Amino acid sequence: MDLGLDGDAALVSASSSGLGKASATALAAEGADVVINGRDPDRLNAALADIREAATGEVVGVPGDITDPDDTTRLVDRAVEEFGGLDHLVTSAGGPPSGPFLDTDDEDWYDAFDLLVMSVVRLVREATPHLRDGGGTVTTVTSGSVKEAIDSLVLSNSVRMSVVGLEKTLSAELAPEVRANTVLPGSHETPRIEELVEQGVDRGDYPDYEAGIAEWSAGTPMGRIGQPEEFGDVVAFLCSDRASYVNGAAIPVDGGAHASNL
**Same-domain pairing of 41 and 146:** yes
pLDDT at 133: 92
210 versus 259: the higher-pLDDT residue is 210
Integer-rounded Cα Rg, in Å, for the chain is 18
Is the pLDDT at 32 greater than 80? The verdict is: yes
Domain presence at residue 102: yes
pLDDT at 195: 87
Q: What is the pLDDT of residues 92-101, one digit of tens each?
A: 998 898 888 9
CATH number at residue 86: 3.40.50.720
This prediction has a pTM of 0.95
Of the chain, the percentage scoring pLDDT greater than 70 comes to 100
Average pLDDT over residues 212-225: 92
**Same-domain pairing of 193 and 115:** no
Owning domain of residue 218: 189-225
**Same-domain pairing of 38 and 136:** yes
185 versus 197: the higher-pLDDT residue is 185
**Same-domain pairing of 92 and 156:** yes
**Same-domain pairing of 196 and 82:** no
Query: Into how many domains does the chain fold?
Result: 2
**Same-domain pairing of 162 and 68:** yes
**Same-domain pairing of 201 and 166:** no
Q: What is the pLDDT of residues 44-79, one digit of tens each?
A: 999 999 999 999 999 999 999 999 999 999 999 999
**Same-domain pairing of 56 and 161:** yes
- 190-199, 216-225, 227-236 — most confident range: 227-236
**Same-domain pairing of 130 and 231:** yes
